[in-house]
Amino acid sequence: TDRFDPAASDCRWQERWSQADCFRADSASNKPKSYVLEMFPYPSGRIHMGHVRNYTMGDVLARFRRAQGFEVLHPMGWDAFGMPAENAAMEKKVHPGDWTRQNIATMRTQLKRLGFALDWSRELATCESDYYGHEQALFLDLLEAGLVFRRESEVNWDPVDMTVLANEQVIDGRGWRSGALVERRKLNQWFLKITDFADELLEGLETLDQWPDKVRLMQENWIGKSRGMQFRFKRPEGGEIEVFTTRPDTIFGASFVAISPDHPIAAALAAERQDVADFITRAKQGGTTAAEIETAEKLGFDTGLKVTHPLDPDWSLPVWIANFVLMDYGTGALFGVPGHDARDFEFATKYDLPITRVVAATAEDAGAPLEAAETIAGVAVNSRFLDGMTTDDAKAEVIRRAEAGGWGKGTTQYRLRDWGVSRQRYWGTPIPIIHCEGCGAVPVPKDQLPVVLPEDVSFDIPGNPLDRHPTWNRVDCPRCGRPARRETDTLDTFVDSSWYFIRFASQPEAKPFDRAEAEAWLPVGQYIGGVEHAILHLLYARFWTRALERIGKLGVKEPFKGLFTQGMVTHETYRGPDGWLSPEEAASAREAGLPVENGRVEKMSKSKKNVVDPDSIIARYGADAVRWFMLSDSPPERDLEWSIGGIEGAARFVQRVWRLATAPVVSEGSDGALVRKLHRAVAGVGSAIEGLQFNKAVAALYELTSAIEKASPSADRSNAIRILVLLVAPMAPHLAEEAWAALGEQGMVVDQPWPAHDPALLVDDEVTIAVQVNGKLKATLMAPRGAAREDLQAMALAADKVAALVGSGAPRKVIVVPDRLVNIVL
């Protein structure tokens, strides 16, 4: 046929690949192994263009590696637990399990339509007990190793809905559904000891040289290792308040001491004084995230207590209770330096506390006024014996004095907190613990795993349905046999995604993974996903891997050798008088004479109505055109703007390749220039894919295609077409198979090796040689690259002009620089 018909071709090849089981990864294979992984999707309903771009990139690499002779593991699964399923249950009255599994079915079909080279035999969904049961076993292993603990910790409590809220459900300090002011409440919760690994996780970043620098920096900042100091302020009436600071150099700029509303001293005062108790209640309203506490209005209460400055017995400072001081950071108390800390500045301005400059750019600026907190380093001023020292020297000096005087010591502090994994939610992995009045928190014996989520739950009233389940949470204590209660908290879904890549590599039924098999594949060679996961997911996965390594379950320290974060898919937006319009609505509104504004090009989102649904595009243009467009126009780390022009260009390219592949095959005649272009394309496309520069691979293929189109029929040209088909295969695999068959070739493209190139043909084969006589340019000549010195000398002497100058006598000397120049000295 004269046109490539994706509608027929796409399913034909998808079926053939599936029948031949091409993409099944054989763990026992002797070939070198390559593990290519894209971040698995949350089954939210339908695949979006961002998924298409992400998975296409991984697929190109996976297919390329396969052609290079690797045994490739390229799996797919579903990050299937989480809140949206519960929201759907509440709003649409569908069971979270039904909603999730339905979405998975839809999205799986959509992915299959794109022809990804995935090993579907390894598909997993984290919401199924054959996955999360193993997660429960691993949780118990970590518990046994002392890497899991339980303690009281604050949650967001919605007093109207009477439910715990996730941080994302707190908007401007209010419950997202009820709109009520959120309170902080203490609950017993489970934690993973990620702080035990803070140094390891930090040092490990240095080994990750195939990660983007920005992601490593984000992780480094998140771990937040800093030198600081802990020291005590004495209370004249006895007792002391210990504070933590990262800026000991500012100690003479102190204007108050502030303690957390949860500080024991605050609690003791509240027990005696109603005004203190009332303040604490007020201070604890609002969300629990650090960001929310940071941005909430600063609230303070002057307790009337005083403390003495450690370096000046005559200097007395007031003690305040302040809402921005966290109890679980440092010591839960600080000394405020309004001149050089933004929160302290805001606080001191509000409550009229002294603001002194103790750091300046130079010693001469000691008297410069402070318009706002100046937080950068400089030299100490107005600081007695520290005056003139740099910030770093002053820090060291204060720590030295504190240690010598016995009132404080230098510390290493991390911003990283232990990972709270308890969620008061239904749709998650049940924490395998049983609470017994006599025995405490008892692990569920491993032979009783999985602890399966009950299906019969209702979402009619707020709160966790597991708590009010009539039977599920009542069990006998595994230790003493008396009636006990199941833990009804479930695990943070980040736990599910912290080890799925290990389970992909090895899926025995009886345990989470087989160590040797997992190690055969790990670490993941190339991981591809959104930069929004730069911190939490990637840090948790690194931690989980190291924890398993520490307890001897896995001999891998870093899970992801290479990391690539791809850009988003964007699209233009339109606004009408009543809000956002889809492109179609915008067009008809314009026709109707209504005012329509062009908005910015933004990430595709439902709220902006600029989403393009992959299904309709695939139906119209075919999988290959969509894949091709996703890789074209922009470097993969940048945003890609969706456009009709772009997808149509991609569809035209598919037809161009098809036309070449269906032209008559010629078996005679050579075309050296085309052969060289071909070899250059083979090398260029390969190294571009290797470097994940997919747009460059695409550009090289456009160039080759044009060159072939321009060349006259010859055996070389027919061969170039054959190779072109192999080169486009990772990007446009259906087209490639169909073209391969049309060319009369045997077997499938997926089974063909990546074409070889001859390095000798990559360079221009002719070079220009300058011929000089006594240092002056007299002629130029073309010579084969790499020609021998004697040959160049002979050619130069034979050149007309030169021969005339040299005459019959022999030159005194001939200097030859190969590939460049011949100088004849007379």
Judged by beta carbon distances under 5 to 8 A according to partner kind, the member of Zn ion, ligand ANZ, none in contact with residue 438 is Zn ion
Helix extents (H) in 370-497: 391-405, 493-496
Round to whole Å and give the CA distance between 279 and 119: 59
Q: Does 374 bind ligand ANZ (CB under 6 A)?
A: no
Round to whole Å and give the CA distance between 559 and 646: 36
How many of the chain's residues bind ligand ANZ (CB under 6 A)?
A: 20
Residue 154's nearest CA partner among 261, 2, 75 is: 261
- Of the candidate residues 330, 529, 733, 811, the single one contacting ligand ANZ (CB under 6 A): 330
696 belongs to an annotated ligand binding site: no
Residue 349 neighbours by CB under 8 Å, 6+ apart:
338, 355
Q: Does 337 bind ligand ANZ (CB under 6 A)?
A: yes
> Helix (H, G, I), strand (E, B), or coil: what is residue 437?
coil
Round to whole Å and give the CA distance between 331 and 352: 25
Q: Of the two residues 324 and 513, which places its CB atom closer to ligand ANZ in the complex?
A: 324
Q: Of the two residues 439 and 770, which places its CB atom closer to Zn ion in the complex?
A: 439
- Piece in contact with ligand ANZ (CB under 6 A), picked from 280-288, 337-345, 428-436, 442-450: 337-345
Round to whole Å and give the CA distance between 432 and 422: 12
Q: Which of residues 397-416 bind ligand ANZ (CB under 6 A)?
A: 413, 415
Q: Does 341 bind ligand ANZ (CB under 6 A)?
A: yes
Q: How many CB atoms lie within 10 A of CB 647?
A: 20
Q: Of the two residues 358 and 792, which places its CB atom closer to ligand ANZ in the complex?
A: 358
- Of the candidate residues 247, 357, 425, 778, the single one contacting ligand ANZ (CB under 6 A): 247
- Of the candidate residues 226, 316, 412, 670, the single one contacting ligand ANZ (CB under 6 A): 226
Q: Which two structure tokens, joined as six digits, stand for 460?
A: 């009619």
Residue 556 burial class via C-beta count within 10 angstroms: exposed 0-12, middle 13-18, buried 19 and up: buried
Q: Does 198 bind ligand ANZ (CB under 6 A)?
A: no
Round to whole Å and give the CA distance between 203 and 222: 13
- Looking only at the bridges linking them, the beta strands covering 33-38 and 524-530 are parallel
Contact at 8 Å (CB) between 677 and 745? no
Round to whole Å and give the CA distance between 412 and 46: 47
Judged by beta carbon distances under 5 to 8 A according to partner kind, the member of ligand ANZ, Zn ion, none in contact with residue 245 is ligand ANZ
To Zn ion, the closest distance from the beta carbon of 115 in angstroms equals 55
Binding to Zn ion by CB under 5 A, coded x per residue (else -) over 44-83, reads ----------------------------------------
Q: Of the two residues 244 and 419, which places its CB atom closer to ligand ANZ in the complex?
A: 244
Judged by beta carbon distances under 5 to 8 A according to partner kind, the member of Zn ion, ligand ANZ, none in contact with residue 439 is Zn ion
- Of the candidate residues 335, 500, 574, 694, the single one contacting ligand ANZ (CB under 6 A): 335
Q: Of the two residues 384 and 820, which places its CB atom closer to ligand ANZ in the complex?
A: 384
Round to whole Å and give the CA distance between 95 and 86: 8
Q: Which two structure tokens, joined as six digits, stand for 663?
A: 């032209």
Round to whole Å and give the CA distance between 47 and 41: 9
Q: Which of residues 82-111 bind Zn ion (CB under 5 A)?
A: none
Contact at 8 Å (CB) between 140 and 548? no
Q: Does 233 bind ligand ANZ (CB under 6 A)?
A: no
Q: Which of residues 427-466 bind Zn ion (CB under 5 A)?
A: 436, 438-439
Q: Of the two residues 20 and 480, which places its CB atom closer to Zn ion in the complex?
A: 480
Q: Of the two residues 69 and 438, which places its CB atom closer to Zn ion in the complex?
A: 438
Judged by beta carbon distances under 5 to 8 A according to partner kind, the member of Zn ion, ligand ANZ, none in contact with residue 96 is none
To ligand ANZ, the closest distance from the beta carbon of 376 in angstroms equals 10
Residue 655 neighbours by CB under 8 Å, 6+ apart:
3, 4
H/E stretch holding 233 reads strand 226-234
Q: Of the two residues 58 and 339, which places its CB atom closer to ligand ANZ in the complex?
A: 339
Measured CA distances, 603 to 12, 531, 607, 745, 752 (Å): 34, 14, 11, 43, 38
Q: Of the two residues 244 and 279, which places its CB atom closer to ligand ANZ in the complex?
A: 244
Q: How many CB atoms lie within 10 A of CB 522?
A: 25
To ligand ANZ, the closest distance from the beta carbon of 258 in angstroms equals 8
- Piece in contact with ligand ANZ (CB under 6 A), picked from 238-246, 385-393, 613-621, 765-773: 238-246
Judged by beta carbon distances under 5 to 8 A according to partner kind, the member of ligand ANZ, Zn ion, none in contact with residue 341 is ligand ANZ
Binding to ligand ANZ by CB under 6 A, coded x per residue (else -) over 248-287, reads --x---------x---------------------------
Q: Of the two residues 204 and 478, which places its CB atom closer to Zn ion in the complex?
A: 478
Q: Which two structure tokens, joined as six digits, stand for 57?
A: 């990139």
Q: Does 518 bind ligand ANZ (CB under 6 A)?
A: no
Residue 611 neighbours by CB under 8 Å, 6+ apart:
48, 49, 571, 604, 605
- Of the candidate residues 197, 244, 527, 653, the single one contacting ligand ANZ (CB under 6 A): 244
- Piece in contact with ligand ANZ (CB under 6 A), picked from 76-84, 115-123, 239-247, 609-617: 239-247
Longest Cα pair distance anywhere in the chain, in angstroms? 119
Q: Is the dihedral of CA 727, 731, 735, 737 positive or negative?
A: positive
- Piece in contact with ligand ANZ (CB under 6 A), picked from 62-70, 196-204, 319-327, 567-575: 319-327
Judged by beta carbon distances under 5 to 8 A according to partner kind, the member of Zn ion, ligand ANZ, none in contact with residue 325 is ligand ANZ
Q: Does 71 bind ligand ANZ (CB under 6 A)?
A: no
Residue 313 neighbours by CB under 8 Å, 6+ apart:
none
- Of the candidate residues 75, 77, 310, 332, the single one contacting ligand ANZ (CB under 6 A): 332
To ligand ANZ, the closest distance from the beta carbon of 250 in angstroms equals 4
* 307 phi, psi to nearest 5 deg: -135, 160
To ligand ANZ, the closest distance from the beta carbon of 206 in angstroms equals 22
To ligand ANZ, the closest distance from the beta carbon of 202 in angstroms equals 15
Judged by beta carbon distances under 5 to 8 A according to partner kind, the member of Zn ion, ligand ANZ, none in contact with residue 389 is none
Contact at 8 Å (CB) between 260 and 332? yes
**Buried residues in 180-206 as b, exposed as e (16+ CB within 10 A):** eebbbbeeebbbbbbbbbbeebbebbe
Q: Does 340 bind ligand ANZ (CB under 6 A)?
A: yes
* 275 phi, psi to nearest 5 deg: -65, -35
Q: How many CB atoms lie within 10 A of CB 564?
A: 22
- Of the candidate residues 155, 477, 650, 748, the single one contacting Zn ion (CB under 5 A): 477
Annotated binding site for ATP: 606
Binding site for ligand ANZ (CB under 6 A): 226, 244-247, 250, 260, 324-326, 329-330, 332, 334-335, 337, 340-341, 413, 415
Binding site for Zn ion (CB under 5 A): 436, 438-439, 477, 479-480
Bind-site residues: 606
